[in-house]
Chain A
């Protein structure tokens, strides 16, 4: 790895952008450079590596269509004039998912925010609908989202499906990659006359977690969860291994309905999350369980020797998942993070071993428990003190050597990230919906470099841990 800014490929000619915009009379368009740049960014700066690489990235214009007809007009204009178009939701990604490497137009879905339909067990909304708004509307009908990122209040449902994977609630409902996580997506193609496709069931995977490279998602249909009253608890432990063992045991309790089981090790728990509740030697387990499980949780906490921590913030999920990293970064910009899998069996031992391999001065464990194909899995978002790219690479290598695969959050292409399986079927779909490769160009390397295409097709389009 080097810190040099890579060549992202050609930007469109200024005249092409102007010609495309000229076809979009009546649409909401922003061209003021400072404002365009602000809306060309996300939380890529969580990574000092991406910050160095992507900091200058900006679009030429931001267009915010009011409805799907306007989306088609934008895509037709971009097709006609060969202008790249990068779809943006809430801009809460962490790897530059919505950053327009080759400039062109950022398509902001913010006005596509209608709730299309709600039924018992499912909801359909336009892609730009904020997840927090969607959840509130569902709540009125006794339902809720199954899971959401910690950025639920600012992230859009389309952005989550296009660039996210799981989050708060995944301990019960698994991740977006699971069968049944998404009922359908409505997608617009980038052609002379853009078409609208309804991708139902497993077909939706073609457009999921592709950073908007394979069609523009305009509507999302999701199964919902029943509305539940959640308890929020923070449980403190003196020993890290006991905190992990408690969290693992809780994650295995089938009768306790759970929404969040996170471990944040000392000293980060006190220093960055709950400075008034605990001291710096305490390891914290952040727990959200159904109110009906209060007594069961108390028994389990007592059995593991944990103690309740006061003065936790609410909502508790805003201290977990990627928000943990955010809180640390607010205090100290030297931190960054990794995304680590700790496979079964031996999850607890692996977590503890990796914590011991580095000290808390360099790596502070942060573990999120979730369901993966029917069993409990642990996924790490450890805080890592950044010194150099070379040292970061060593830390990644040490995890991989120990059997803990890393989904590298310091890269911005689908292939380097390793979560999305770019196979022939997906490349063929991309060819069909975006033949000129105008959608978020530079993120799907395989489309431009056929030697990278995976031979092995998967029904799921996701690599599992």
Chain B
């Protein structure tokens, strides 16, 4: 039986929150994007939130939780979309936001504590040596670097640098194990995959070493097209231009681009391509836009935009869904891989099949050395069975879905038991206290993962 009171006694001198409303608020994320998860997770809450100030305090919390069998769920900025940091079995939420130090910036790499906000890491690296993280989520301003590695996968910059799971996009991870006497491990090389995108189920990441890219001035460009597929072909061709350095190539389809996402800029007939392009190739980019017949609705450095303007990336990736949800709660979204090299044909196939039930918001990325796109489609929601039918159709037609309406690792992006992560959990969390309920392979050794689908996190 968990001994929560004993734990709270052990940690009496730490920053501990037990006031139920406050604890519940810090037990949540953006799971409400999904009507299914909203139904399933709405009552989830921890019993207490502990906010350690340093790694030694992290070790104390973990040691006490292990000794007293209290579940422990690590939380960063709480910007996940599928309840990654929601404590299904209560217990303690371990809020790492006070572990925010940037420890060392070197040529091409940064060492940082897991709770640092991504935007703060970028600013520190820019000030130090005009460097920045290779890519970041649209929640750059509120997400933490540890949360991104534990629960994210790609983002703004992936069109140049690929995904977090690619060898070389995470250089090192310092991890505290949930053993009777917690150990501190430094995982490097392929061993990083033990904890990458594991939702904190098999260790507490306290520090990360990340590679850096040069921090060029990026221009925010919005290019409008009257035809959705023309916009897609432009986006694909742009993504393939090795000479045009870019950070974002995002397609927002008609009518939602003008209706919900950027109503001040576009009308409902227009499909938009959002681009972040390095300033020093802007002239060449404009000529490229002209050859595709696009119309530039915006082409400016952030400093040239009105002060209240949002950065362009806050209209892309999961922020696109957020903008739509501000206008209507009758929508939800999907996560889909349109695999190379036939991704454009697959996009067109789905576009013809679903019409305006599934709005094809696309993000172009480098995927295994090729260009592909992810769909973060905005779906007009009617019912759970219909949503499942839509997902089944995608899966059956060569467009694998990474189900954002499932809070488990296997049900979401992983799709199958990750044996490396499961083995590491046996070693690092023998009592199964870390974020319980998220790794099916742990809870159900007989889980059938005999799927022949393509896996985002296939090793």
Contacts and interface: CB of A to CB of B under 8 A. Distances in A.
Interface of A: 119-122, 142, 146, 172-174, 178-181, 183, 200-202, 223-224, 226, 228-229, 251-257, 290-293, 295-296, 298-300, 345, 371-376, 459
Interface residues of B, number: 46
B288 A254 contact: no
Contacts of A253: 166-168, 369
B242 A173 contact: yes
Contacts of B281: 121, 180, 183, 223
18 contacts: A119-B280, A146-B243, A173-B242, A202-B291, A223-B245, A226-B213, A226-B214, A228-B108, A253-B167, A254-B162, A254-B163, A254-B366, A255-B162, A257-B168, A292-B108, A293-B211, A296-B189, A375-B240
B370 A291 contact: no
B279 A180 contact: no
B170 to A, nearest CB: 9
B161 A459 contact: no
Nearest to A173: B242
Given A120-B216, A173-B243, A180-B243, A375 B369 contact: yes
Name the residue in A121, A228, A293, A299 with the highest tally of chain B Cβ atoms < 10 Å from its Cβ: A121
Nearest to A119: B280
A377 to B, nearest CB: 11
Contact of B167 (A226, A251, A300): A300
Given A229-B107, A255-B161, A292-B211, A179 B216 contact: no
B142 interface: no
Contacts of B368: 252, 254
Contacts of A142: 130
A79 B167 CA distance: 58
A298 B190 CA distance: 10
Given A226-B214, A256-B167, A299-B190, A172 B161 contact: no
Contacts, number: 131
B166 A459 contact: no
A189 B288 CA distance: 27
A254 B242 contact: no
Given A178-B241, A183-B284, A257-B211, 12 more contacts: A179-B287, A180-B281, A223-B278, A255-B163, A257-B168, A290-B211, A291-B108, A296-B168, A345-B341, A373-B240, A374-B370, A375-B369
Contacts of B130: 142
Given A121-B216, A173-B243, A292-B168, A183 B369 contact: no
A202 B287 contact: yes
B378 to A, nearest CB: 27
Q: Which 5 A-B pairs give the minimum distances between C-beta atoms?
A: A252-B369, A121-B280, A374-B240, A180-B243, A254-B162
B58 interface: no
A292 B171 contact: yes
Contacts of B109: 292
Given A202-B287, A299-B189, A371 B168 contact: no
B161 A375 contact: no
B135 to A, nearest CB: 10
A181 B281 CA distance: 9
B167 A374 contact: no
B242 A174 contact: yes
B242 A374 contact: yes
A179 B243 contact: yes
B288 to A, nearest CB: 5
A255 B107 CA distance: 16
B300 interface: no
Contacts of A296: 167-168, 189
B302 to A, nearest CB: 16
A256 to B, nearest CB: 4
A200 B371 CA distance: 28
Contacts of A376: 369-370
Contacts of A122: 280
A202 to B, nearest CB: 5
Contacts of B371: 374-375
B243 A255 contact: no
Nearest to B280: A121
A293 B245 contact: no
A255 B280 contact: no
A202 B290 CA distance: 11
Interface in B51-105: none
